[in-house]
Chain A
Amino acid sequence: MNKFAYLVVASALAVSAFGQGQIDLNNRGLALVNDAAGKPLTGTTFVAQVWYGASASTLTSSFAPSPFRASTTTYPGTWNPAAVGGPGALGTLTGFAPGSTVTLQVRVWDSAVAGVGAAQALSKTAGTGLSETFTYAIPADPLAIPGGMGGLKSFNLAAGGTPVVPEPTTIALGALGAAALLLRRRK
């Protein structure tokens, strides 16, 4: 076997050995997420979740949500995948081999608001954010450092303020009040 053939075979073996592509889940130094007023978003209760799939209509996989940074950060508008509870800076794209292309979307919401999550972000509920879909070509070279968020475009949270979602205790109090009114009317 000549040297060229040896290298081709060795490279193919190396690529197949690694199986699934990696992605850098950071947007630090790239496009930012802004609040509804256009100011780069901060606050650790806000989270960003990266969804991925083969196309914009099949974004069925996701990573754990990453919290945004504290208000004192040097990098407002960025989330921190390496934070506790986050997915880690580099994620594995299950089902996507090096050399393939994956479609991505970022969904943002305030985790401190009950009843709000990725689904609400997808439907553009006030106070949540949804990026345009974008693609990432996973490097075929196993030594290439992963990218990922390079195609992300900056986006704002949907205007309209934080949605008011009753807490369970509020609902319970309301039910008690209604029951009391009913009893009083019967008497």
Chain B
Amino acid sequence: MNTKSLLLAAFVAAVGAVSGSAQVTSQNIVGYVRLSLAKGYNLIGNQLNNGNNAIGTVLNVPDGTAVYKFTSGKYVANAFVDGAWDAPAMTLAPGEGFFINVPAATTITLIGEVSLTNSKALAAGYNLLTVPVPLAGGLADAAAGGLTAAEGDVVYQWTGSGFAAKEFVDGAWAPSAPTVKVGEGFFLKGTARTYARNFSVN
């Protein structure tokens, strides 16, 4: 997967004067994430909220594409065949990672609003995630991924043909701290807890 473009955000601030001196600011950050996908399996995630986040509204993909989510230790598959998704009710919410298998190299664009408040319950064991906001950098950095690492955590990142693992043992990442690209999905194996990643315009 080659991330072509970071978020091109259109920052819409509607400012209105209310009750004389009071000022109310509405902050909505909308934009898109464009991802270049290689033929075959790519591990990506949704980082924008488009409302219902139904798979058919999140992804615009060529016929023959298949998506694999990972839930309760098992994969769940959904294919786009003959112009329709097998399971159109499947959702891809911000923060969810998933494998996508495309029949040929293609570029997809995910459109939506940056979700400012994100809290995801992590199950003990494997979780397929993405950073819930379109930021690149250190997964455990407060300014990027915002993940609070716990002892024993292992992050698995897709190389295109397999996984590269980075573990958090004795209070440090080995062999190095994981960094993520915009739109990248990853597996996190660890203890049950909550992954909160809020985003502030300021």
Name A's B-contacting residues (CB within 8 A). Answer: 3, 6-7, 10, 14, 17-18, 22, 24, 26, 28-29, 69-70, 72-75, 80, 82-83, 88-90, 92, 142-143, 145-146
Contact = CB atoms under 8 A, between A and B. Distances in A.
Given A10-B154, A17-B125, A82-B86, A28 B77 contact: no
B75 interface: yes
Contact-size category for B: 20 to 34
B169 interface: yes
B70 to A, nearest CB: 8
Contact of B82 (A17, A75, A89, A146): A75
14 contacts: A10-B154, A17-B73, A22-B74, A29-B64, A70-B82, A73-B82, A74-B64, A74-B81, A75-B82, A88-B77, A89-B77, A90-B76, A143-B126, A145-B41
A82 B79 contact: yes
Contacts of A70: 82
B161 to A, nearest CB: 11
Given A74-B63, A142-B73, A145-B41, A3 B126 contact: no
A142 B156 CA distance: 12
A3 B169 contact: yes
Contacts of A92: 74
A145 B152 contact: no
Q: Interface SS of chain B: helix, strand, loop or mixed? A: strand
A145 B79 contact: no
Nearest to B77: A89
B79 A90 contact: no
A110 B155 CA distance: 48
Given A7-B167, A24-B77, A28-B64, A14 B126 contact: yes
A143 B43 CA distance: 12
Given A7-B167, A28-B81, A29-B64, A14 B189 contact: yes
Given A29-B64, A143-B163, A146-B75, A14 B81 contact: no
Contacts of A73: 81-82
A164 to B, nearest CB: 33
Nearest to B72: A18
B101 to A, nearest CB: 8
B74 A145 contact: no
B53 interface: no
A26 B79 contact: yes
